[in-house]
A and B are shown apart, each in its own frame.
Chain A
Amino acid sequence: MNDVILNMPSVLRGFSAVVRRDILLAWKRPGDMLNPLFFFAMVSTLFPLAVGPTTEQLAFSGPGVVWVAALLASLLSLNSLFMSDFEDGSLDQLLLSPQPLPMLTLAKAVSHWLIAGLPLVLVSPLVAITFQMPARTIGVMMVTLSFGTMSLSLLGSIGAALTVGLNRGTALLSLLILPLAMPVLIFGARTVSMAAADDAVSAGVYFLAAYCMLMLTLAPFATAAALRISNE
């Protein structure tokens, strides 16, 4: 009995094993990782075509467009967060493992951010340049997008856990998550707009960071509870 407990991998090792596995899986199937990025670029292209090409229009709508596109793109990949694990049975192994489940769901959310959120943040300057954003604004945008996509991955993991195995597609997940994601969108887009207008941005950045911390502490527990309910 003692041996079992002593030989059990530490919580940190369980965490990193899940993250490593998810990143490896994403690496082997790069299409899943790239599609949301193309979607992000595509949606950002639609807006100038729909709104009009003048510099003022683009500079005015840029922050909002980038944020809405990022929100939708990361929502797109959230649907599959637990789906493949559910289908091949490895989700059951996660639930049965002696590791604390909230830690594992945190690992799933973190790896989702590394796979879907971080690439978005890294690609966003390319989109921002086409919207005539100055360098300082781009910096603020990347910081806010980092916190925002992290919050979305965590918030979305709750929704993905609630809808896993329902086969209702992204529409239901969007309906669950988008109203809750409103504060992230509001503060994210507005902070970038304020940076573009040379206003102080620290309040918005602090709020997004605080929201991200709140989600980091609460969301894994809600996700774990939701997973147990969905798989009982």
Chain B
Amino acid sequence: MWTFFHKLASPPHFYDLAAKFIPWFAVLGFVFVAYGTVAGLFFAPADYQQGDAFRIIYVHVPAAYLSMMAYMIMAVSAGIGLVWRIKLSHAVAAAAAPLGAWFTFLALATGSIWGRPMWGTWWEWGDPRLTSELIMLFLYFGYMALRAAIDDPAKADKASAVLALVGAVNIPIIHFSVEWWSSLHQGATLIREGGPAIQTSMLYPLLAMIFGFTFLFGALLLGRVRTEVLFRERRSRWVYNLVLPDEGRG
């Protein structure tokens, strides 16, 4: 059990292990997303209130879920790196941040596109989830800006880990306060999810999209971590042997 974790934390071992997992994740991701796209866009019935516009949830919901998932992965691995001083988990946190920011942006963009036919505006401050996603995006920006501002990589790892943890404590408070704020002046135009329960022909493609996005996220994350590890360990023997195997023991 513990030897497994110790091996996992060693960069060369992780580098090889990740290479084995990436194709599986990518294939599974593509299969799920392909099924979800076809079933969601062509076979799922149109919503009786929203028409075909609801179909954007097949991108929006997985992206929104992953934007939070990525922050959680970032904060947890930053915390592990801070407590047990595992360099690999700092690499995971560094690799997860831009991905999380992109998924947050995707969730915001699709939410805004959905809002155009539904609410008649590209942006609706009254919707708590849009607003808290926007704050989430700023949290990612802050994290990446701090990381970029510190030259010493070890220091950047630890400082940004503290920020990620402070953010993780604050995120529930931010969500709660944004909900409270918007509940006070909410227009009647909003269509809330309190409508009819979702039909299975709509639900299965959505679940498939969520699984597919998660697998693709996993593949992207592992790929990014591999690159990050390779860059961080660029002075080490194993990377040298990996990149220039024929040079002998230089």
Q: Please report A residues at the B interface, Cβ cutoff 8 Å.
A: 158, 162-163, 166, 168, 172, 175-176, 178-180, 182-183, 186-187, 190, 207, 211, 218, 222, 225-226, 229-230, 232
Contacts and interface: CB of A to CB of B under 8 A. Distances in A.
Given A162-B146, A172-B146, A222-B165, A230 B159 contact: yes
B149 A166 contact: yes
Contacts of A230: 155, 159
Contacts of B167: 179-180
Contact of B145 (A175, A182, A187, A225): A175
Given A175-B141, A190-B184, A229-B159, A183 B177 contact: yes
B103 to A, nearest CB: 17
Contact of B162 (A182, A183, A211, A222): A222
A166 B156 CA distance: 11
Listed residue (B165, B166, B167) with the most chain A CB atoms within 10 angstroms of its CB = B166
Contact of B181 (A166, A190, A225): A190
B139 to A, nearest CB: 5
Interface residues of B, number: 28
Interface in B148-192: 149-150, 155, 158-159, 162-163, 165-167, 169-170, 173-174, 176-178, 180-181, 184
Contacts, number: 70
A162 B146 CA distance: 8
A211 B173 contact: yes
A187 B142 CA distance: 22
The 6 closest A-B pairs by CB, nearest first: A183-B177, A179-B138, A229-B158, A176-B142, A186-B181, A175-B142
B155 A232 contact: yes
A232 to B, nearest CB: 7
A202 to B, nearest CB: 14
B31 interface: no
B73 interface: no
A73 B139 CA distance: 21
Interface string B6-31: 00000000000000000000000000
Nearest to A179: B138
A226 B159 contact: yes
Nearest to B169: A218
Contacts of B146: 162-163, 172, 176
Interface string B122-138: 00000000000001001
A86 to B, nearest CB: 14
A166 B181 CA distance: 35
Contacts of B158: 229
Nearest to B162: A226
A58 B176 CA distance: 29
A183 B142 contact: no
A219 B169 CA distance: 11
A190 B178 CA distance: 11
Nearest to A231: B155
A186 B170 contact: no
B162 A166 contact: no
Nearest to A229: B158
23 contacts: A158-B162, A162-B146, A162-B163, A163-B149, A172-B146, A172-B149, A175-B138, A175-B141, A176-B142, A176-B163, A179-B167, A179-B174, A180-B170, A180-B174, A182-B177, A183-B170, A183-B176, A187-B180, A211-B173, A222-B165, A225-B162, A226-B159, A232-B155
Contacts of A182: 135, 174, 177-178
Contacts of B180: 186-187
